[in-house]
A and B are shown apart, each in its own frame.
Chain A
Amino acid sequence: DAGITQSPRYKITETGRQVTLMCHQTWSHSYMFWYRQDLGHGLRLIYYSAAADITDKGEVPDGYVVSRSKTENFPLTLESATRSQTSVYFCASTEYEQYFGPGTRLTVT
């Protein structure tokens, strides 16, 4: 099915562990984005990518790492998870308007 998918949908991890959130899109859109959504903050941009091997920081990049070796994939890694990174994470891709994945709810204990 065409679209944008995220995995896992739910994740619980411990402080200090590394965790990777996956994002895959089937449209071959050039631009892809990672947001986090928290109460009182709305959507905040973490990182974005203009194409394979081209990434750039957004509003809240600290503690996150991204890569984009293939156009269709844009994984987000928390190298050493902290409780403040408990959030819902959304991946998006854009042709003109943004298309969002279903989100990953991450809890860091």
Chain B
Amino acid sequence: AQSVTQLGSHVSVSEGALVLLRCNYSSSVPPYLFWYVQYPNQGLQLLLKYTTGATLVKGINGFEAEFKKSETSFHLTKPSAHMSDAAEYFCAVRFGSSSASKIIFGSGTRLSIRP
């Protein structure tokens, strides 16, 4: 069955520390992978996406993610956390290449930043 799992519903890091948010998926077809960020009282905003090609993708606000097919993972990282990174982060996977393909969202990870 197709699924998306985000490990850790809440992650807390110190300002300046490495951010690592985990996402694993199960799929029988090549996945297309996304990370979204949601700030309080706002909709979801695309951070980055992987479709094909280079497995390390860079997004906005200094975030990046690496697609590891062998591990079925797409973890999100940022070398140095900033207070403004505090938000909810969602991993999403499209199972197929067309707009009609199903997208499944992970349950989200709330990132807190300690001063």
Please determine whether chains A and B interact with each other in the same assembly. yes
Partner of B99, one of A30, A43, A90, A101: A30
- Listed in ascending order, the chain B residues whose CB lies under 8 Å from chain A are 34, 36, 41-46, 49, 51, 90, 92, 94, 99-100, 103, 105-108
- Complex Cα distance, B107 from A29, in Å, reads 26
Interface of B is mostly: strand
Question: In this complex, what residue of A is CB-closest to B6?
Answer: A42
B103 and A98: CB pair below 8 A? yes
Chain A interface size, under 10 / 10 to 19 / 20 to 34 / 35 or more? 20 to 34
- Listed in ascending order, the chain A residues whose CB lies under 8 Å from chain B are 29-31, 40-43, 50, 90, 92, 94-103, 105
B99 and A100: CB pair below 8 A? no
Question: In this complex, what residue of B is CB-closest to A100?
Answer: B43
B99 and A95: CB pair below 8 A? yes
